[in-house]
Structures are given as C-alpha cells and as structure tokens.
Amino acid sequence: MSQDQMIELKTDRSRLRRAHERGSYDRATLYSVLDAMPLAHISYVMDGKPSQLPTLQWREGDHVYWHGSAASRALRAMEGKDVCLSVTMMDGYVLARSAMHHSANFRSAMVFGVAEKVMDEAAKAARLKAMVDSILPGRWDSLRAMNDQELKATAVMRIPIEEASAKIRSGGPKDDEEDYALPIWAGVVPMQTVLQPPVPDDRNLDGVAMPDHLSRIRIG
C-alpha cells in the first residue's frame, strides 16, 4: 500500500490528537473494523441539538450504509447534512499495577460525511439484500420476497468513506517503570462477542428445518 493510500482518509477532523500512535488511516484497517461490527452509532444534529441513532451499518465498497423508516425524523434530519458514524468493539480489560494505568483493548472506526438517501428503488432493494446477507450470507434468498409497500416504507442512507480513522489498542498494561517491582498481579481479561446456537421461534411450522445458512455460521 502506497503512502498516498495510507493517508487518504486522514483530515484535520479525523486525525487523532491524543494517543496518535493508536490511529490508522488506511482503508484495510478501517474496513476490517467496520466489517466486524454491524452495530453503529450515528451522530447528527436535529433542531439545532445533538442527537445519536444506534442502528445496523454495512459496507459496500467505499460507502457505508444504514437504513430506517422512511418516516423517521432522524433520517430526514441527516439527509444532506454532516454526520459521524462510529463503531466500537471491546476486546478486553487491561489491568495495570496502578489505577491510573488501567485501560481497555478495543477496535473502533469513525467515518465523517454528508448523508445521502439512496433514491433509486432497484438500488435500494439491492442495498437491503446486501445488508441482510452481510449479517447472514444466504439469508435473503430464503425469505418471502419484499413487497412494494415495504420497500417504499424503508429508507436507505449512505456516506462515502473519504474522511475517517480507526483507533486500536491491544496488548498488556503499560505501567510506570518503578511499578514493575511491585507484587501486584497485572494482565489482560480478554472479551469476545460471539454468536450462540440459534433458538427457533415458537410459531415455526412443524417440520421446518433450520436452513443451511444458519448451520454454517460459527458458534461460540
């Protein structure tokens, strides 16, 4: 990856001011974080006041998408305006020899941009299919087809990934040098988000088997 590719997402707004050694501005690192965590928080301004929307996000190429009700006040407030989309994964508690140096291992990504509504109906349907299949590959084709009313009632938003940063902390504690001589246990308590075995709906019809796309997912 060239130096130009490494810094193309770095702007005055996206660059890290503190702990800058944890920052990354290359697309490979940023995309790995976005693709690993579907739950996002989108910050925006509505009626002159800050607000935030938790929602699912998915990435296609150099855009990140989210969806919601076409009647959503939040989505209407975002359209054509600057927003900030962020995702975070907690990877563990970092236990040091002093309270000051306790920390957390994590991976986060932050993307800035002007929110755009996907207007073309065929493109919107394709994006919704991509969302479902990004969570569970093959799920969309096993479902009842989406009807026109459902498509009309759903809005899909996106921002280009042009101004962004990833921030990652990993490894053990970093204590003051003199504290390493203290008889205090230090280390890391790892943390994971994992899928659990599927639980069938009580109203599943008799004889309906769990589909192959669920049996293929990684459990635990």
Residue 23 near residue 17 (C-beta atoms within 8 A) = no
pLDDT tens sequence across 110-161: 999 999 999 999 999 999 999 999 989 999 999 999 999 999 999 999 999 9
93: exposed, middle or buried (C-beta count within 10 Å: 0-12, 13-18, 19+)?
middle
CATH superfamily of 3-176+183-191: Electron Transport, Fmn-binding Protein; Chain A (2.30.110.10)
Tell me, what's the pLDDT at 22?
64
DSSP the chain: --HHHHHTT--TTTS-SSSGGGEE-SHHHHHHHHHH--EEEEEEEETTEEEEEEEEEEEETTEEEEEEETT-HHHHHHTTSEEEEEEEEEEEEEE-SSGGG-EEEEEEEEEEEE-EE---HHHHHHHHHHHHHHHSTT-GGGSPPPPHHHHHTEEEEEEESSEEEEEEE-SS----GGGGGS----EEEE-----------TTPPTT-PPPHHHHTSPP-
What is the pTM (predicted TM-score) of this model? 0.89
Average of pLDDT values for 62-88?
A: 97
pLDDT tens sequence across 56-69: 999 999 999 999 99
Q: Where does the pLDDT of residue 3 fall: very low under 50, low under 70, confident under 90, or very high at 90 and above?
A: very low
157: exposed, middle or buried (C-beta count within 10 Å: 0-12, 13-18, 19+)?
buried
Residue 176 near residue 98 (C-beta atoms within 8 A) = yes
Residue 164 near residue 175 (C-beta atoms within 8 A) = no
Q: Average pLDDT of the chain?
A: 91
Calpha distance 51→41 (Å, rounded) = 10
pLDDT tens sequence across 166-183: 999 999 999 999 999 999
